[in-house]
Structure 1
Amino acid sequence: MPSQHFPDQIIVPSFKQLVLYTGNVMLTSTTATAGKHWNKKSNTELVQAISDTLDISLKGTDKPSFRYYTETELLEVPDLRLSSRIHPDDRNDVEVTAKLFYLDGCSEYQPSHIDKAINHLQQLLNVKSIDTFIVSFDADDSASSVSKAWKDLEAYHERGVISKLGLADFDYQTLTNFLNKKDLKVKPCVDQVHFDQCCSLPQDLIRLGKEHGIEMTFNGDTTEILTTDALSTLLSNHNVVKEKTRCRSVVADKGYIVVGDVA
């Protein structure tokens, strides 16, 4: 993809991969706007956070506000405000909970997906360990991909990088099948379940959670938190790309890390 130059915007080099750090959305105006959409499975917060980061990082400055890695053709758009970094002295007082979303258009699972997600998170927050790591699989992900991903997460758990593992939107039957896996070493500690009407969880799911010591919680995240078309539109509107971008994954804690490839 050729480099592009636009008025009031620095030159963006040709790239094939993108990593974008939104920073802590709790410190921006995006949270207030997105909060009212909680029960509508809205991805408003993420979309606004990406747009805000692109505005700050790519416009109105005469200095490069991104990192570009020639060998891998990777464009990294950082959180210039460093709003998510945790001071080492405060680490014991901060609970780090992260969530990895597998999105539409992802290829068959690869170990690098987990490795990159955790590495990006460690860099963003300036931490070595994660207290709770939740993974949200796409509805079309195969049982084989889910098993491979969980096995790699178990390895991080065994090394002490992750303290607790969790799942998202596993119903009674799916969770039962998962817990009955013969090669399961680490049970999930939490199952985040989304309902349009946040009133009560299914009783069979509650009983299953109590039986296995799994906390059942509500979450307001849409399972389709960012589509390929939405990301492509955002990058196009900010004059970053013309080609379609495949959105690989998103990690969310206080903010978001978006990873994508240019088709």
Structure 2
Amino acid sequence: MTRIVLSTGNIVSGGPSIIRKPGTYRSNLELTNSLRSNFLAAKEDYTVALQNGNGNGTNGHGLNGNSRTSTSVWTSVEDSVLYVPRINWASAGLQEDRTQYEITVKLFFLPTTPIEKRAEYINEALRLVTKELGVDTVDLLIISFPGISFEGDCEWEADKRNATMGDDEEEIRTWSVLEDLHLRGKIGRLGIAEFGSEKLQRFINKVRVRPAVDQINIKNCCNVPPPLAKLAKDEGIELFTHGDCTDILPKGTLRELLGHGLQGAGILADDESEGQGLEGDLVPEWVVKYTTFVQDRGVIENKGYFAGAELVERA
């Protein structure tokens, strides 16, 4: 079994792959395009650096080669985790004093995520984000559970359907991990995503720390359901809208990103690799998105993603 962590770096200062296109720009496209851009940049940067050092960094394969030798140049293994690409932690950190920032984190549990490992993933995602930003705390962490959405012909129907989605008890158990981090001062405020009025009411009746934010995607039903708007107002919960996909990194998309295809990273063995690369079943587990907002200037300075997966040997 191999643990894999993918990263985009700061996409605010990225290249053309993240330029906004007309229409709704969903975060799954932002994630995949930004990962591809960061993979390519790392291949070029680390290969050139190695060539400058010894004159032969790619073992004859060049920048577009997918050999295991070239892969080892721009990826790294730390504490048994394969980082794609390798991360220069020395350059991490914010440009201004921490008090100038509002740091928001959104953690997506994917449909393939083992529920019993959610606490591990929360801590891992938070560790990576805080290390990348050079901070000890984040101001808001929003959790997104799989299988929950707002879908229906109108906001009333969507709210009604939402009440039966997900698993309340599993979500409350996961929330308790976030509550502990909040009470320890690691997270300022907690938030949830895609909770309608009935689901949110059941939830706040059973947790120690109520969510400060409920983030919902209403693309399919146009308006915020009135019962949800009333409940949020009565309970002092902020309602945010978003354009994220719940299943932000499907298994097939991740394998394409890491395979040997035209835009693949050349990490995994596939039909085009001629036996080169890692073999096994790839299981995407979580994605975390982070944003740093400079409050006095009203600008986003950092935005990026990490994603975690397991490569399991085939039986």
Q: TM-score range by the shorter chain?
A: 0.7 to 0.9
**Pairwise CA distance, 1:221:** 0.7
Distance 1:34 1:163 in 2: 33
Residues 11-160 of structure 1 mapped to structure 2, 5 A cutoff: 16-28=2-14, 29-33=16-20, 36-38=23-25, 41=26, 43-59=28-44, 61-62=46-47, 63=50, 64-69=73-78, 73-76=80-83, 77-79=85-87, 85-87=93-95, 89-110=96-117, 111-139=119-147, 142-160=167-185
- Counting aligned pairs with the same residue, the percent is 29
Cα deviation, 1:40-98, whole Å, max 9, x if unaligned, reads x45111000111111122356334333313xx5311134559887314x4211111000
Larger Rg: 1 or 2?
2
Secondary structure of the 2:234 match is: helix
Deviations 1:113-152 (A, max 9, x none): 1111111111111110000000000017533331121101
Matching residue of 2:277: none
- List gaps (5 residues or longer) in structure 1: 1-14
Hey, what does 1:174 align to over in structure 2?
199
- State the SS of the aligned residue for 1:109: helix
Q: Per-residue deviation at 1:31?
A: 3.2
Cα 1:144–1:85 shift into 2, 3 Å = same
The 1:118/1:166 distance shift into structure 2, 3 A limit, reads same
1:217 corresponds to which letter in structure 2?
A: F
1:179 deviates by: 1.1
SS of residue matched to 2:102: coil
- Tell me, in whole angstroms, the C-alpha distance in 2 between the residues paired with 1:81 and 1:164: 27
Is residue 2:265 matched to residue 1:238?
yes
Q: How many residues align?
A: 242
Would the alpha carbon gap of residues 150 and 33 (structure 1) be closer, same or farther in structure 2, given more than 3 Å must change? same
Q: Distance in 2 between matches of 1:198 and 1:167?
A: 19
CA distance in 1, matches of 2:216, 2:92: 26
CA change 1:170–1:78 in 2 (3 A) is farther
- The separation in 1 between residues aligned to 2:92 and 2:5, in whole angstroms, is 16
Unaligned runs of 5+ in 2: 51-72, 149-165, 270-279, 291-302
Per-residue CA deviation, residues 3-62 of structure 1 (Å, 9 max, x unaligned), is xxxxxxxxxxxx711112211212223332357333xx4511100011111112235633
> TM-score, normalised on structure 1?
0.84
Which range moves more in the overlay, 29-38 or 212-221?
29-38
